Each structure stands twice: as C-alpha cells, then as structure tokens.
Amino acid sequence: MVYLRCIECGKVYENEEMYTCPCGGLLEVSLDLDSIDVTFKLDGNNLRVWKYADLLPVKIKPISLNEGGTPLFRAEYLERELNIHRIYVKHEGLNPSGSFKDRGMTVGVTKAIELGKKAVACASTGNTSASLAMYAAKANLKAYVLLPAGKVALGKVAQALMHNAKVIGIKGNFDKALELVREISRQENFYLLNSVNPFRLEGQKTIAFEIVDELGYVPDRVILPVGNAGNISAIYKGFRELKTLGLIDSIPKMTGIQAKGANPIYRAFVESKKVIEPVTPETIATAIRIGNPVNARKALNAIYESNGLAEEVSDEEIISAQKILAGKEGIGVEPASAASVAGLIKLAGREIDVDETVVCITTGHLLKDPEAVIRACGSPIEVPADIESIKSVL
C-alpha cells in the first residue's frame, strides 16, 4: 500500500492527488517496506530507473525513455589536485533530455496516466520543462509550462517547444511562476509535476540506488547542486530506504551546494535553522536560480539527519569548476551542475577528509546552456582560409 505522509504533522493520507497537507506541510510517499519483496540485486547490471520498480509507487506499465543508468566517472585529476583518495562524478546530464529530471518525470507522468489525467504542468527554470514535455509527448498528454521570461537558457526552452509543450513566459521569477502554476493546475485539473509532487521525487531517489549499484558500497559523502531542493531530499530518501531494507548499513553525508546569489538553504544551515528566509535570486547558474525552494524543509532535514552540510559558491567558482570538469576530466556540464564540484573544491581540506569516497552529482548537460559557454570561453577564432593564417593562431 502507498500512503502520503506529512513531514510536519505526521498525518497519513491515501489520497494520491494531494501535493501538500492541509497544515501546510510537504508530503512524502510512504511505502510499506516490510511487505515489499525486493527482487532487484545491487550487482552493477542493467542500470535503469525501472530496475528498481519494486520501490517505485506505480502499478501500470511505465512511460519510459530508458532513463537512468548514467555513468559514474572516476575524477582522477580532481583526486590529485585536492588530495582526496576517491572522487566520482555521477553525470546525470546523460539522461534522455539531458538532466536528472527524467528520473522524476518517468514516474510522475506514469502516475498522471494511472490517475486518469489528460494534462500535466510545471513551472521551470528550464530542465523540468524540457523533461516534462518529452515524457508528456511519449504519453500523449498535453503539457503546459510557465517560465520566468528571459531567464531560461534557450537550449531548454527549445526542448520544451519542440516536444509540443505550451510554453508561457511570465514577467517574474521562478518562485512566482510556481505560485501561479499551482493555482492554474488546481483550477484546470492539470497534474502538477514540480518537485512539490511527492511521486516525482520517487523517481529521483533512484540516483541513490544507482550509486550503490555502481560503486558496490556506500560513499562517505554525496555532493550536489541545490535549487528547488527536491533532488537532495529524494536521494537521501533513497539511501534511507536501502538502509531500512538492510541492503546498506550507512548513509552518506548529504552535502548541498547553492549559488551565492540564490542561497536560502545555506543561510538557514549556517544559522542552524530548519526554516528558510526567501531571497531574491540572481546567479549565472539558471537551473538553481531559485529564492524560495519548495522542498527546503526536506532538504534541511536530509542535511541535518545525515550529518552533512550546506555550502555556497560564487558564479566565478562555478565557471571555474565547469572548465575544470570539461578541460581536465572530459565531462561537459551546464553551470548549475558544476556547483557540486565547485563546492567540493571549496570544502576540500576543510570539511572533507583525505580518505573519503565522494560522489559529486552533475545534474545537466553542457549543451543545455551554450550561451553560458560562449560567455565563459569566448567565440571561435576567425582567420582567412590559408595555412599561414591558421598557423599564426596555433
């Protein structure tokens, strides 16, 4: 049986179409783990989201584009430079739409079909809209997207448009777009697939399952970018479930990295608070340019309960990390993704021990935001079409 449990008051609901508790608290999917017969093996084989179907709360055939199974790269340059023995990069940008959001959308859109919905909707900084549009197209559902006008990388907007979503730009930031899409979804009976939807987060917890599956053990620390804060919450839940099932015996320190211009969770953490104060966000890392993350309470719980931490990084540190990942490790990521590695670099020798095994999660592909690349690297060199001119710039 699948229930929704409020993380604030603890009340349990069987109504699967709720997003939040009447008390205002966030809801979390609660599985009866004692009654689940786990048939998958954490053996490093057949890595895909639906390998872990035993722990995913849907009953029908999934709407899938073969999401998951993303590589776990050994970051040897970073290991040498930072003097940390084992650093891995889990590159979620190699999912079908180019971001980790696909893990959540395969479950969320499948749940929409299960509930008989005809349309899905979201607010987005870009990646959610791209993923929603792809999976809605696969499921033959209508898709509606609200974006902060002029604030979303064009690569992501193009994905949503090409996959037939109705894309609407608003004169406001992401937080305003989310407020509006929640109300529109209520009025129009759209199935809301932002990370306030607890079923979407169930797909994202499979990142935890895959890390253990690929490594063969539990890392000491998982570092990831934090925007709307659903991913850190979901991954922590995944580790918790594996531990409850007796499949692992420890949980990594969940380490959330925010851009300095969009850092309410970091601010709450340094003040030992469980509630954030929203900020007006501004950062080059558009995917995490969120000032009032809906899952902040879940994220802070994940950090505190796992003995983890939160850190902030500047735009300059993010771009530097993006260049290191591409130029030294061969891993191309968008700016927000590089926040995890920027955080690793900042924390090395201060909070991270030499003998730790660290997994950094990079959330989106380099091609998501080509304009940011040109701003950071400059345009190609142009010369006349002759050998001497080419040699002159080698």
Q: Which residues does the annotation place in the binding site for pyridoxal 5'-phosphate?
A: 127, 227-231, 363
Domains of the chain by start residue, with CATH: 1-31 (no CATH), 72-99+198-376 (3.40.50.1100), 118-188 (3.40.50.1100)
List, for residues 210-231, the tens digit of each pLDDT value: 999 999 999 999 999 999 999 9
Q: Do residues 194 and 129 make contact, with C-beta atoms less than 8 angstroms apart?
A: no
Q: Do residues 367 and 153 make contact, with C-beta atoms less than 8 angstroms apart?
A: no
Residue 153 has φ and ψ, to the nearest 5°, of -55, 135
Q: How far apart are CA 327 and CA 257, in angstroms?
A: 22
pLDDT at 297: 96
Look at the chain and count its residues. 394
Q: How far apart are CA 124 and CA 109, in angstroms?
A: 16
The first and second tokens of residue 20, run together, are: 């939040």
pLDDT at 16: 83
Pairing label, strands 221-225, 142-148: unpaired
Q: How far is Cα of residue 57 from the mean position of the Cα atoms in its chain? A: 19
pLDDT at 15: 80
Three-state secondary structure readout of the chain:
CEEEEECCCCCEECCCCCCECCCCCEEEEEECHHHCCCCCCCCCCCCCHHHHHHHCCCCCCCCCCCCCCCCEEECHHHHHHHCCCEEEEEEHHHCCCCECHHHHHHHHHHHHHHCCCCEEEEECCCHHHHHHHHHHHHHCCEEEEEEECCCCCHHHHHHHHHCCCEEEEECCCHHHHHHHHHHHHHHHCCEECCCCCHHHHHHHCHHHHHHHHHHCCCCCEEEEECCCCHHHHHHHHHHHHHHHCCCCCCCCEEEEEEECCCCHHHHHHHCCCCCCCCCCCCCCCHHHCCCCCCCHHHHHHHHHHCCCEEEEECHHHHHHHHHHHHHHHCCCECHHHHHHHHHHHHHECCCECCCCEEEEEECEEHHHCHHHHHHHHCCCCCCCCCHHHHHHCC
Q: Do residues 331 and 91 make contact, with C-beta atoms less than 8 angstroms apart?
A: yes
List, for residues 105-120, the tens digit of each pLDDT value: 999 999 999 999 999 9
pLDDT at 71: 98
Q: Which residues does the annotation place in the binding site?
A: 127, 227-231, 363
**Residues of the chain below pLDDT 70:** none
Provide the edge-to-edge strand list for the sheet that holds 2-6: 12-13, 2-6, 27-31
